[in-house]
Amino acid sequence: MRNILGLCVLSGLSALMLGGCVGAPESGDGQDTSVQGPDIAPSGKGVGTLDNYAGPAGEAKPGGQGKPGGGNGISNHGGVVLHGTVNIHYIWYGNHAASVKTTLTDFANSIGGSPYFNINKTYTDSTGAVSGLVANAAATSDAGSLGANLTDANIQSIVAAQNPTDTNGVYFVLTDPSVNATSGFCTQYCGWHTHATIGGKDIKYSFVGNSNRCPSACAAQATGPNGVDGSDGMASIIAHELEEATSDPDLNAWYDTRGYENADKCAWTFGTTYSSGGASANVKLGTRDYLIQQNWVNAGGGYCSML
């Protein structure tokens, strides 16, 4: 197992630490929903991979200085959040091991309503708050119709080929280790989310690659609580993209002045861990243990947490 303990400063998609990452509150402790100044709009592609991201100074560090973007370090720029039950749609692209499908299906079945995902209930728009509820919708498969080197346009086409209609869901294109996303998988990101008008509807979707393609970049440990098939690394990225797609589905709602969405502000930090199957874990969802990245609590001045 790689040594990933005690590196809270690496906070963007950074390293495992013991204890929560908490920044010092700014003046104005309440939730700031006002439109901010010339903030950088998010790309949906996060802030880096595990092996190349150094983290912004003062962001989510114990006793850190300044969390730009409102009293809690993040603000709503006028966009909407997803309400009610958010539906997960998996699109299995390529040839996936049965163990990967089982682990990630269990993850989708159990993340909704968990204390971890309920962090997203601190995010609101003019009509209310995120509910924290998630459902696992029916999954589909694509054996590799567009080959092993996918452009961003290819990934949108894979989603479009499923004739998506769920505007309150997130469609995840999950690839096997042989598949690359050419805009920066393993070098600039491990996953991303965005939205597009498909069939006349605003469809939210995400790319998540198998971390076994580049474990030093996209997996916090060589062997996860559920084995060595890459599913643990993927679960962490799915969680990251799902919470961002829920709180910032159209890339115009919750982010800070740097363009960091809620999960970006805590990426690659994991809080307090425990041992499970010879690996580190930080949360039990259903019957399985996982090591997944913390999320930013939009309250109390803002801080990273698993609860």
pLDDT above 90 covers a percentage of the chain that reads: 79
Task: Report the pLDDT averaged over residues 74-97.
Answer: 98
Retrieve residue 304's tokens. Answer: 């990273």
pLDDT of residue 36: 41
Q: Which amino acid is at 16?
A: L
- Rounded CA gap, 252 and 119, in Å? 19
Retrieve residue 292's tokens. Answer: 């997944």
Domain ranges of the chain: 78-254+275-305
Number of C-beta neighbours around residue 235 at 10 A:
29
Position 254 pLDDT exceeds 60: yes
244: region left, alpha or beta (phi > 0 left; psi from -120 to 50 alpha): alpha
Measured N-to-C along each axis, helices 98-110 and 231-247 cross at an angle, to the nearest 10 degrees, of: 40
- Rounded CA gap, 181 and 183, in Å? 6
pLDDT digits (tens, 9 = 90+) for 5-20: 322 322 233 322 223 3
Position 180 pLDDT exceeds 80: yes
Average pLDDT, the chain: 86
pLDDT of residue 67: 52
Entry field: residues in the chain = 307
Q: What angle do CA 60, 61, 62 make, to 5 degrees?
A: 120
Retrieve residue 307's tokens. Answer: 């609860």
At 158, the pLDDT band (50, 70, 90 cuts) reads: very high
At 53, the pLDDT band (50, 70, 90 cuts) reads: confident
pLDDT of residue 179: 98
Position 94 pLDDT exceeds 50: yes
At 52, the pLDDT band (50, 70, 90 cuts) reads: confident
Task: Report the pLDDT averaged over residues 286-297.
Answer: 97
pLDDT of residue 63: 31
pLDDT of residue 282: 98
The residue assigned the tokens 């969405």 is 261
**Is there a contact between 265 and 48 (Cβ–Cβ < 8 Å)?**
no
At 69, the pLDDT band (50, 70, 90 cuts) reads: low
This prediction has a pTM of 0.86
Number of C-beta neighbours around residue 201 at 10 A:
11
pLDDT digits (tens, 9 = 90+) for 103-150: 999 999 999 999 999 999 999 999 999 999 999 998 999 999 999 999
Number of C-beta neighbours around residue 175 at 10 A:
27
pLDDT of residue 47: 87
Q: For the residues of 44-60, what is the DSSP string, one character each?
A: SS-S--TTT----TTSS
